[in-house]
Structure 1
Amino acid sequence: MCGIAGFAGKEAWQRTCEMTGLLHHRGPDGSAVYDGKTACLGHTHLKVTGDYPQPALSGGSVFVFNGEIYNYRDFADVTSDTEALARILSGGMESLVSAAPYINGDYSLGLWDGSKLALLRDPVGVKPLYYGRSSDGFGFASERKALWKAGIRDVKALSPGAMLADGEERRVVDLPRYEPVLDEEKAIGTLDVSLAAAVRARVHASAAVTFSGGIDSALIGALAPGMPLVTVGLEGSHDIKAARHAVRLMGVESRHVVYEIGENDVEAAVAGTVYAVESADPLKVSIALPLYILAQKARDDGYRVLLSGQGADELFGGYARYERAFDEGRLPEALDHDLRHIAEVNLERDDAATMAHGVELRVPFLDMRVIAAARRMGPSLKVRRNGKDYIRKYVLRKVAEKYLPPEVAAAPKKAIQYGTGVQKTLERLARSRGSAPAGYLESQYRKVFR
């Protein structure tokens, strides 16, 4: 996990150095810039899984890479995913494009072959990558603000699964096909095996689970025995109460770490969160705030990786709106749409909030094996009528019953901004300044980006 940047055009070295410096928070353990004269690439390093030097040379090309490839040993007998990429890229970007459908991981990458820049992003969009052009040249970076620093104002996110070359995006790797062929018993077994493997692949000595007491985080916690379970919230908030209740039922109180915060903590984090997510949108900021604070406190305690339940709702029908979609016979289309847009709606925000403190967010539910399993299940395995009510995430709850007490496996969903108490606190802070949240956050945005 890291920050990457590059620029081709006028003053490429200076612009790339400035962008790389602005991304220091993403990689506080080191940085380097490759000088290709007309094009330069920069990298900031967050030491989690390896020390293979970047920018990395491969044949006649140089590349920078952000992310994790969990099955890299399928491609080369090496000790790191970056080294495996270097082997693949010795045949050029098209060699990586050919390998991409077989990669299980989260990544974004920029490559300079001596004449042009090419970019690539994983098929879900777990790792961010932005690009743009000005009158002085073309640039890319892990965050928009780095491109703004380089004088590029019209910034776009590279689409998930897309390669950008010669100024054109084209999709080169897609999600697994939707083929609902599994019956309930096979669906439960397949999901059990794939999710357990996904969690194992993401376990790390400096990792913890973001824990709210809901089914998604509780199941990850159960599949990662011994890993700390970290909870953030205001005193008396739903999430702290639910998390404490869940760990008692699970018998894992010794693993539970609670970061109880107050209004002053939220106030102190507002400007940093706005800067991190590069937005004054009240919904985006209210969701990012608790994750920003959690990452800060987790990093202070020595955690460099957080495992999140992000993606479970879009795969297994967790939101209330999916009940209507189920009744209208369009649940598969609704889930497919939301999964294809999860990067812009959720993942880019969450990455920015945690990486502001040099903490890598890993999402086991968005492992390719889990996605493939989910897309082999029909609607009734995800949303099920129960009299007048609905059971959302039905198949996931059946898997959870193997690992969790029934009350935890059936726990209802509560959005993080409400569960942590941050939403009401943000509203109080805005009122104390005679403003609505939108106005208050806009004033913070103008301050941090003036």
Structure 2
Amino acid sequence: MCGIAGFVGEKARQRTCQMIEALSHRGPDGVSVQEIGRACLGHAHLKITGDYPQPASTAGMTFVYNGEIYNHSNFLPGSNSDTEVLASILENNLDGFINAAPAVNGEYAFAAWDNNQIVLVRDPVGIKPLYYGNCESGFGFASERKALLRVGIRDIRSLSPGCLLAEGQERRFADLPPMQPIINDEAEAVRRLDEALGQAVRLRLHKDAAVTFSGGIDSALIGAMAPATPLLTVGLAGSFDVKAAIHAARAIGAEHRHTVYEVTEKDVEEALPGVIYAIESANPVTVAIALPLYILSAKARKDGYKVLLSGQGSDELFAGYARYEAGFKEGRLQQMLDYDQHHLAEVNLERDDAAAMASGMELRVPYLDLSVVSLARQLDPSLKLRVNGKDYIRKYVLRKVAEKYFPPDVSGAPKKAIQYGTGIQKTLERLARSHRCDLAGYLQTLYKVVLV
């Protein structure tokens, strides 16, 4: 993973250099820029897979790329670089990628200078971010909004997932698999989900990887399916998540690979300016959710990790939120899930990417592997939300998979939102009271200091 940016117009090199400087935290392993006519492309490198130099050129096209293609060897046997594979796919023309896209297993955002125009492309789920906008001097794009703001671009848009931008217009080239609830047999669903998720986890493993481990069912399953990978937990001493994670680690015999990063109120206060700058928001909910990942990523990076496996996306795929119960009663569950899955990028993924990449940490999301997404969208709603008397069992089929790895008190554990489970929410509220204002006002004051 990395940071990418570029500009087409006046002083393109100067502006691209300014943007790449703003993205240097995303690529601690080196930066480079390349001018092509009236355009300039830049790249901040986080070395994970291979060492293919960027910006890269192929058959008259120059591109910069942020992402991972996990099945890259299927396209170019013998290659250890997914960037090289992308170059080979683009070798003929951009249509070569569009045709190959359904077979690409991974996440990506890239920009190509092709036939004297800039083209932007983003994966169907929107796992990797890409923003763009215009100013009087020209057109720019970048992995984070702050880079575009640095060169005077104010009208900033996020490229929609599964879309290609060319000549100022977005057009869709890929979408999520169809929502077709054709699987209603529980045993088949459990077997296929176990296989698909296990394969998705294995594809995303890396020698410098760890699992963000809250002890909840989503992260616990990833931890069980990655039996040699370290498990990292963050939270205040005695918090719900710390206790749950310790219990879940014991349940799979993983105490030896489990690390708890206990944080204090002082740690939270010191991290606040950094997380607000990273996610470019003072929204209390957004900040409270991003803070645990931001702190964990910083500590993990210091301990030598470069990749984090996260359980993001599970709730939207398998009906993990309480609000889905009302949708189920009203016969709207499928519609709600479809909407949330199509808006994952703007609601969750862009925030989490920014929080992790602030420390140069690549975030990988096995639940959003397209094979897992496709399977989830084929499951009957009753396999996601099961009525049990007066109660509802959310993420039912995922819990049935978890029963193969955990005792019932782990596989059936209730969900607790990360800001509450880690103790971060109460800590933020105490900090706000100590500054004699409400939480929104406290965060807005910090926002004005770090971003305005």
**Does the residue aligned with 2:120 lie in a helix, a strand or coil?**
strand
Task: State the match for 2:2 in structure 1.
Answer: 2
Q: Aligned partners of 2:209, 2:357: CA distance in 1, in Å?
A: 14
Please give the secondary structure, in 1, of the residue aligned with 2:134.
strand
Q: Secondary structure at the match of 2:170?
A: strand
- Per-residue CA deviations over 1:312-357 (Å, capped at 9, x if unaligned) read 0000000001111111111111101000001000000000000000
Task: Within 5 Å, give how 1:38-437 maps onto structure 2.
Answer: 38-77=38-77, 78-182=79-183, 183-437=185-439
* Structure-1 separation of matches of 2:47 and 2:120: 23
Q: Which amino acid aligns with 1:120?
A: V
Aligned equivalents of 1:261, 1:386: Cα separation in 2: 38
Native 8 Å contact 1:56 1:64 kept in 2: yes
Secondary structure in 1 matching 2:425 = helix
- Counterparts of 1:28 and 1:225 in 2: how far apart (Å)? 29
SS at match of 1:155: strand
State the Cα deviation string for residues 253-274 of structure 1 (Å, max 9, x = none).
1111000010000000000000
Contact residue 317 and residue 393 of structure 1 kept, 8 A: yes
Q: Please, what is the CA RMSD of the aligned residues?
A: 0.8
**Aligned residue type for 1:394:** Y
Q: Which moved more, 1:215-224 or 1:92-101?
A: 92-101
- Contact 1:101 1:174 survives alignment (8 Å): no
Percent of paired sites with the same residue:
64
Alignment check: 8 A CA contact 1:430 1:440 kept: yes
Q: TM-score, normalised by structure 1?
A: 0.99
- The answer to whether the aligner puts 1:37 opposite 2:37 as a matched pair is yes
| Contact 1:13–1:37 under 8 Å retained in 2 | no
2: distance between equivalents of 1:198 and 1:11? 43
Indicate conservation of the 8 Å contact 1:12/1:37, yes or no.
no
Structure 2 Cα separation of the partners of residues 104 and 250 of structure 1: 29
Distance 1:116 1:83 in 2: 22
TM-score for the superposition, normalised by structure 2: 0.98
By how many angstroms is 1:248 displaced? 1.9
| 2:250 partner SS | helix
- Per-residue CA distance 1:99-145 (angstroms, 9 max, x = gap): 11221111100000241000000000000000000111000000000
SS in 1 for 2:112: strand
- The letter for the 2-side match of 1:373 is L
Letter in 1 for 2:175: D
Matched residues in 1 for 2:87 and 2:80: separation?
12
C-alpha deviation, 1:235, in angstroms:
1.2
The offset of 1:249, in angstroms, is 2.2
Question: Which consecutive unaligned segments of at least 5 residues does structure 2 have?
Answer: none
Is the Cα–Cα contact under 8 Å of residues 250 and 405 in structure 1 kept in the other structure? no
Note if contact 1:119-1:163 (Cα within 8 Å) is conserved in structure 2.
yes
Which amino acid in the other structure matches residue 227 of structure 1?
T
One-letter code aligned to 1:312: S
Deviation at 1:396, TM superposition (A): 0.5
Q: How far apart in 2 are the matches of 1:62 and 1:305?
A: 27
Instruction: Give me the whole-angstrom Cα distance separating, in 2, the residues matched to 1:342 and 1:48.
Output: 25
Unaligned runs of at least 5 residues, structure 1: none
Q: Hey, what's the Cα distance between the residues in 1 that align with 2:378 and 2:368? A: 15
